[in-house]
Amino acid sequence: MQRVLVMGSSGSGKSTFARRLSDITGIPTVSIDAIFWKPGWIESETEEFRSRMTEAALQPKWIMDGNYTRTGAGELRRELSDTIIWFDLPRAACMLGILGRIARTYGRVRPEMAEGCPEKIDLEFFRYVWTYRQQQRPKLLAYFEGLRSDQSLVCFTDRGQADDYLKDLALKQNVASIH
């Protein structure tokens, strides 16, 4: 594992998983949200975002947390990744995830977010998460069709599976460091 995409709905646990995976592997994380958003929740221009994503994707090792497949940088990240972790969680789990996140971090900028973008209540964002499985999931499935046979796709349908995956990986890393 050298270049890992962590994808799925907002509120599914992608960022937490990416941080924990980074702690275990030592591979640096790249938050796509931090690259995309500017202070005040302003979206980056497409070319600026593509350029910044390309620069990040060309690094030798990364764990990238986020989707953003609609720009040309989405294909580059898919091409360069060796592992894709997909959080395919039910709507309720993701909605509870974002509500819990808002309760914990309201008014503060989360570590994976761009400066000047504090956590807020955003009804449009709630709608995005509510409709994610119908609107966005099919786009991710189409994106995954472009994977090669030498790339791994790991799918979690609940957070417990992700926790187990990280525990197993940490155990393997500890065993490898002993030998």
Token pair for 146? 């472009």
Which residues, including other chains, have CB under 8 Å from residue 15's CB and lie 6 or more apart?
A: 31, 65, 110, 111, 112
Confidence tier at 178 by pLDDT (50, 70, 90): low
Give 27-56 pLDDT, tens digit per residue: 999 999 999 999 999 999 999 999 999 999
64 pairs with which residues across the strands?
A: 5, 30
In the predicted structure, residue 122 carries a pLDDT above the cut 70: yes
**Ramachandran angles phi, psi of 124, nearest 5°:** -65, -40
Token pair for 52? 């910044």
Give 57-108 pLDDT, tens digit per residue: 999 999 999 888 876 678 899 999 999 999 999 999 999 999 999 999 999 9
Q: Which domains does the chain have, with CATH numbers?
A: 3-178 (3.40.50.300)
Which residues, including other chains, have CB under 8 Å from residue 151's CB and lie 6 or more apart?
A: 81, 82, 83, 84
What 3 state SS string does 13-78 have? CHHHHHHHHHHHHCCCEEEHHHHHEECCCEECCHHHHHHHHHHHHCCCCEEEECCCCCCHHHHHHH
Give 155-171 pLDDT, tens digit per residue: 999 999 999 999 999 99
